[in-house]
């Protein structure tokens, strides 16, 4: 008998698109993948070399449940150097990707019926994390004309006695937009009163910003959890390493969860992560320059095709384009594009009800693939508008 909480989990539709695309590829169809948010680059050379050295030097055993002390010191140093904030190594728990970090945070923070405010649209899996620990996601619509930014006044209107957290994500998945410093400051001010909710800030796309500046929530408040990792900026998705920075009072509860459910993160990969923080800067800068070139090209081509982009995304590696004038069923549209144009795209409905009618395109693919995909999409939409 399947548990109720598992039955209530929605699928991750992006993965449904990917799996259908893989099935088509097995049948000989050439599919261009713009649906998944995974860098097409390999991890930096110094990271791969450090991983190999770690294996040769016997880093194949458990580490401290909170993570290798040297790595936690390096993460704390990174936040001090990048954002000017004081983080202690004992405020950090290293996890096997940022998804376990999200689970640790909400498992430690929420009782059944407690509420978490999230934007709509949002990363597809956020509500499922919250519901799985019997919390309640409270969605706040954000809008294209406002750069999909959370409005502080809209958050205040949704706060209740059961609100335990305000969940923010900047740069954002799926929109690629940044939350401004002024709005972050206003949201942080909501945490100042006794009994006020905490902030959970997903900063996994930090560093992947092409215009403007990304800010850590820790610049504005210490009543916050920060989620981050190495998958996106350092192209280390398959190495599965993330971390959470938390207020000291919440560390021990999350450490107990880590000990029971995960024991510790991968020892060898933690050594590779130290190298990423210490010596991967030049390769990261090169990858960012390539992403930016792709971003500018994709935005131009999507606009020429006729999709709506009011505020250009300046972070992560996504463009969230308005296709409501074409279809209000983004699920059906995405699979029709896959079947007829052989391009994988993510339907907006995967990211919340307010994402319906949008399509998410990832530019974490080669320029050659992106150009070919845009040509296919242009042909698809022309045929759709003027069927023979």
Count CB atoms within 10 A of the CB of residue 111.
10
Identify any residues that bridge with 346 across adjacent strands, giving them in sequence order: 360
Strands 346-347 and 198-202: unpaired
Q: Is the model's pLDDT at 194 over the cut of 80?
A: no
Q: Average pLDDT, stretch 154-159? A: 96
Q: What is the pLDDT of residue 9?
A: 83
Q: What percent of the chain has pLDDT over 90?
A: 94
Q: What is the pLDDT of residue 388?
A: 64
4-42+282-383 has which fold? 3.90.1150
Q: What percent of the chain has pLDDT over 70?
A: 100
3-state DSSP call for residue 90?
A: helix
Q: What is the pLDDT of residue 26?
A: 96
**What pLDDT, in 10s, does the model give residues 10-44?**
888 999 999 999 999 999 999 999 999 999 999 99
Residue 318 host element (H or E): strand 318-322
Instruction: Name the pTM for this structure.
Output: 0.95
Write down the mean pLDDT value for the chain.
96
Q: What is the pLDDT of residue 6?
A: 85
Q: How confident is the model at residue 281 (pLDDT cuts 50, 70, 90)?
A: very high
Q: Average pLDDT, stretch 314-320? A: 97
**What pLDDT, in 10s, does the model give residues 326-342?**
999 999 999 999 999 99
- The two most distant CA atoms of the chain are separated, in Å, by 66
Q: Where are the alpha helices (DSSP H) in 67-118?
A: 69-83, 98-109
Q: What is the pLDDT of residue 375?
A: 98
Q: What is the pLDDT of residue 110?
A: 97
Q: What is the pLDDT of residue 90?
A: 98
Q: How confident is the model at residue 7 (pLDDT cuts 50, 70, 90)?
A: confident
Q: Average pLDDT, stretch 66-74? A: 98
d(CA 50, CA 106): 33
DSSP 144: G
Q: What is the pLDDT of residue 4?
A: 85
DSSP 344: E
Q: Is the model's pLDDT at 367 over the cut of 80?
A: yes
Domain boundaries, the chain: 4-42+282-383, 45-279
**What pLDDT, in 10s, does the model give residues 219-274?**
999 999 999 999 999 999 999 999 999 999 999 999 999 999 999 999 999 999 99
CA torsion, ordered 240, 246, 251, 254, to nearest 10 deg: -50
Q: Is the model's pLDDT at 133 over the cut of 90?
A: yes
3-state DSSP call for residue 5?
A: helix
Q: What is the pLDDT of residue 336?
A: 97
For domain 45-279, the CATH architecture is 3-Layer(aba) Sandwich (3.40)
Q: Is the model's pLDDT at 212 over the cut of 80?
A: yes
């Amino acid at each position: 008998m399947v548990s109720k909480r598992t039955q209530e989990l929605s699928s991750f539709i992006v993965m449904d698109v990917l799996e259908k695309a893989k099935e088509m590829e097995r049948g000989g169809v050439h599919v261009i993948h713009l649906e998944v948010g995974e860098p097409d680059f390999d991890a930096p050379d110094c990271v791969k070399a450090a991983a190999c050295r770690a294996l040769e030097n016997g880093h194949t055993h458990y580490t401290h449940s909170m993570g290798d002390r040297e790595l936690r010191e390096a993460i704390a140093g990174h936040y001090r150097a990048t954002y000017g904030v004081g983080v202690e190594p004992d405020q950090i728990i290293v996890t096997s990707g940022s998804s376990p970090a999200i689970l640790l945070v909400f498992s430690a923070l929420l009782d059944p019926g407690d509420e978490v405010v999230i934007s709509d649209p949002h990363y597809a899996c956020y509500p499922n994390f919250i519901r799985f620990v019997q919390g309640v996601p409270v969605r706040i619509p954000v809008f294209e004309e406002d750069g999909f930014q959370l409005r502080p006044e809209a958050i205040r209107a949704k706060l209740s006695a059961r609100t335990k957290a305000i969940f923010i994500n900047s740069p954002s998945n799926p929109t690629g937009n940044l939350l401004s410093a002024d709005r972050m400051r206003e949201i942080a001010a909501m945490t100042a009163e006794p009994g006020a909710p905490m902030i959970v800030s997903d900063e996994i796309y930090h560093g992947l910003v092409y215009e403007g500046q990304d800010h850590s929530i820790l610049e504005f408040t210490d009543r916050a959890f920060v989620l981050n990792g190495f998958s996106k900026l350092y192209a280390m998705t398959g190495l599965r390493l993330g971390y959470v920075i938390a207020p000291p009072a919440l560390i021990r509860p999350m450490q107990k969860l880590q000990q029971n459910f995960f024991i510790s993160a991968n020892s060898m990969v933690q050594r590779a992560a130290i190298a990423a923080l210490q010596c991967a800067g030049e390769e990261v800068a090169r990858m960012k320059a390539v992403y930016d070139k792709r971003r500018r090209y994709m935005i131009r081509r999507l606009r020429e095709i006729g999709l709506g982009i009011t505020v250009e995304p300046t972070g992560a590696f996504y463009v969230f384009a308005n296709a409501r004038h074409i279809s209000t069923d983004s699920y059906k549209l995405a699979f029709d594009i896959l079947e007829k144009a052989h391009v994988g795209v993510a339907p907006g409905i995967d990211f919340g009800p307010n994402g319906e009618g949008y399509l998410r395109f990832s530019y974490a693919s080669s320029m050659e693939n992106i150009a070919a995909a845009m040509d296919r999409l242009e042909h698809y939409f022309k045929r759709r508008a003027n069927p023979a």
